[in-house]
């Protein structure tokens, strides 16, 4: 089938993982997709099933309750989930490539024992960097952290925070010293029940509607000193290094989405007849699906390459930025064309095509806009020649 991954790139264990995630998605997610999109909420039973199947701690070592696998395994999972529902895919993606990744790299042993064991079992987590005045310019954040001796007081707002409605733990970025600029930014582990912390408005979005996107409010939020993640003033490093891996996850999400859109279109054009024959028999249609399938395969190879480099401990920043940029472009083109291939019914909510189209748009925006990826790629290319 044209939308299936290139098996020659996967080991036997990776093929088994991919197939198991595909089965899980078809059985547990597919029957819930439409209702979750309409209600703008993930099914609590599905969230429970995601934890029970080990999907929330893929790279986390066994001693903390995780699967002890790799970023490549994580992106295979994210891709297969997005094939069925990108909302569920990003829910799992944020937990693995952002939050767990940050804790594995920066947390103390005590923090790992306390929080990773929960994140792999039953606690959803969220990553809170963006603010009303700091999106792409992330280090212009205005959230403030005041040192009060044995604790910090956090004040400020965070916007567009994925998984915020379900999360019990948040990585919050705030500045302890504005005179130091970005070198005052510090990461904090904030529990939902902490005094002075609350979850605000949930956004009403175009796509990935079952995935929660919320505002976070901190009004003299009390955070113990032991909940600083990494070093004080090194939050910018936590953010940069974490988002580098996160881009690979978004790339995998976009690949899965594009595959899902093409799969839906393929089934339709084979079954749909016009002028006495399947519309798949027309050369004009054939050339379109061939082009889409080729772009999807190129996208997949870019994502897989970035993940392999990361797992091998090799530089992957440029490759991750390229993968995120290109896959978001391809996903949007594929989803749009697949609506057209459905004809009039593609514009209705009765068919899957329109949802993939709505879900695709976010790929060029979150975890670094396309312009920011272009800037990163260009800087690294120029650096290689100077």
Rounded Cα–Cα distance for residues 373 and 333 (Å):
18
Mean pLDDT of 84-109: 98
**CA torsion 82→50→303→359, rounded to 10°?**
30
CATH of domain 237-383: 1.20.140.10
Confidence at residue 338, expressed as pLDDT on a 0 to 100 scale: 98
Rounded Cα–Cα distance for residues 257 and 303 (Å):
13
pLDDT digits (tens, 9 = 90+) for 273-304: 999 999 999 999 999 999 999 999 999 999 99
125-232 and 237-383 in the same fold: no
**Which residues, 6 or more positions from 346, have their beta carbon under 8 angstroms from its beta carbon?**
268, 338, 339, 340, 353, 354
Q: Alpha carbon of 210 to those of 17, 41, 165: distances in Å?
A: 25, 4, 11
Confidence at residue 233, expressed as pLDDT on a 0 to 100 scale: 97
Nearest CA to 146 among 135, 160, 131, 156? 156
> Is the pLDDT at 7 greater than 50, yes or no?
no
pLDDT digits (tens, 9 = 90+) for 194-217: 999 999 999 999 999 999 999 999
Question: Where are the domains positioned within the chain?
Answer: 7-119, 125-232, 237-383
Residue 169's DSSP bridge partners are: 125, 191
Angle formed by the axes of helices 12-24 and 71-84, to 10°?
30
pLDDT digits (tens, 9 = 90+) for 312-325: 999 999 999 999 99
**Which residues, 6 or more positions from 50, have their beta carbon under 8 angstroms from its beta carbon?**
56, 88, 91, 92
What is the helix (H) or strand (E) element at residue 366, kind and residue range?
Answer: none
Mean pLDDT score of the chain: 96
CB atoms within 10 A of CB 124: 24
Would the CA dihedral through 166, 171, 173, 177 be positive or negative?
positive
> Is the pLDDT at 1 greater than 90, yes or no?
no
Confidence (pTM): 0.96
Q: Which residues of 50-66 are buried (b: 16+ CB within 10 A; e: fewer)?
A: bbeebbbbbbbeeebbb
pLDDT digits (tens, 9 = 90+) for 109-165: 999 999 999 999 999 999 999 999 898 898 899 999 999 999 999 999 999 999 999
pLDDT digits (tens, 9 = 90+) for 67-77: 999 999 999 99
Confidence at residue 4, expressed as pLDDT on a 0 to 100 scale: 54
Contact (Cβ atoms closer than 8 angstroms) between residue 216 and residue 172: yes
Whether 63 is catalytic is no
What is the helix (H) or strand (E) element at residue 223, kind and residue range?
Answer: strand 213-224
Confidence at residue 139, expressed as pLDDT on a 0 to 100 scale: 87
Mean pLDDT of 342-351: 95
With cut-offs at 50, 70 and 90, classify the pLDDT of residue 167: very high
CB atoms within 10 A of CB 1: 8
Extract the tokens encoding 96: 């693995």
**Which residues, 6 or more positions from 71, have their beta carbon under 8 angstroms from its beta carbon?**
59, 97, 245, 248, 307, 310, 311
For the chain, percent of residues with pLDDT exceeding 90 = 95
Confidence at residue 223, expressed as pLDDT on a 0 to 100 scale: 98
Which of the four CATH numbers 3.40.50.10860, 1.10.540.10, 1.10.150.310, 1.10.20.60 does domain 7-119 have? 1.10.540.10
Q: Does domain 125-232 have CATH number 3.10.129.10?
A: no
């Amino acid at each position: 089938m044209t939308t299936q991954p290139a098996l020659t790139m996967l080991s036997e264990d990776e093929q088994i993982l991919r197939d198991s995630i595909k089965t899980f998605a078809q059985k547990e997610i597919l029957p819930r997709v439409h209702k979750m999109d309409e209600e703008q909420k993930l099914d609590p039973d599905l969230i429970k099933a995601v934890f029970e199947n080990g999907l929330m701690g893929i790279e986390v070592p066994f001693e903390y309750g995780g699967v002890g696998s790799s970023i490549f395994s994580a992106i295979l999972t994210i891709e297969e989930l997005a094939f069925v529902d990108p909302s569920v895919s990003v829910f799992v993606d944020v937990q693995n490539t952002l939050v767990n990744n940050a804790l594995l790299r920066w947390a103390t042993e005590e923090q790992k024992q306390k929080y990773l064991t929960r994140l792999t079992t039953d606690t959803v987590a969220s990553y809170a960097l963006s603010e009303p005045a700091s999106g792409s310019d992330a280090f212009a954040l205005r959230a403030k952290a005041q040192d009060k001796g044995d604790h910090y007081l956090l004040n400020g707002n965070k916007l567009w925070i994925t998984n915020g409605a379900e999360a019990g733990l948040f990585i919050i970025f705030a500045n302890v010293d504005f005179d130091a600029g970005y070198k005052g930014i510090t990461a904090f582990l904030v529990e939902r029940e902490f005094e002075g912390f609350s979850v605000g408005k949930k956004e009403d979005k175009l796509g990935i509607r079952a995935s929660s996107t919320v505002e976070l409010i901190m009004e003299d939020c009390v955070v113990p000193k032991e909940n600083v993640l990494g070093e004080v003033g090194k939050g910018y490093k936590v953010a940069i290094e974490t988002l580098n891996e996160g881009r690979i996850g978004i790339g995998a999400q976009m690949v899965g989405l594009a595959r899902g859109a093409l799969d839906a279109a393929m089934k339709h054009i084979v079954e749909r007849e016009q002028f006495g024959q399947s519309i798949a028999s027309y050369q004009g249609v054939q050339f379109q699906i061939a082009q889409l399938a080729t772009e999807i395969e190129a996208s997949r190879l870019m994502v897989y390459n970035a993940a392999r480099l990361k797992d091998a401990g090799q530089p992957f920043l440029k490759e991750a930025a390229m993968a995120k940029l290109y896959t978001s472009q391809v996903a949007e083109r594929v989803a749009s064309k697949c609506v057209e291939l459905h004809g009039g019914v593609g514009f209705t909510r009765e068919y899957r095509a329109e949802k993939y189209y709505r879900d695709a748009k976010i790929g060029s925006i979150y975890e670094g806009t396309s312009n920011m990826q272009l800037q990163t790629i260009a800087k690294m290319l120029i650096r290689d020649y100077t």
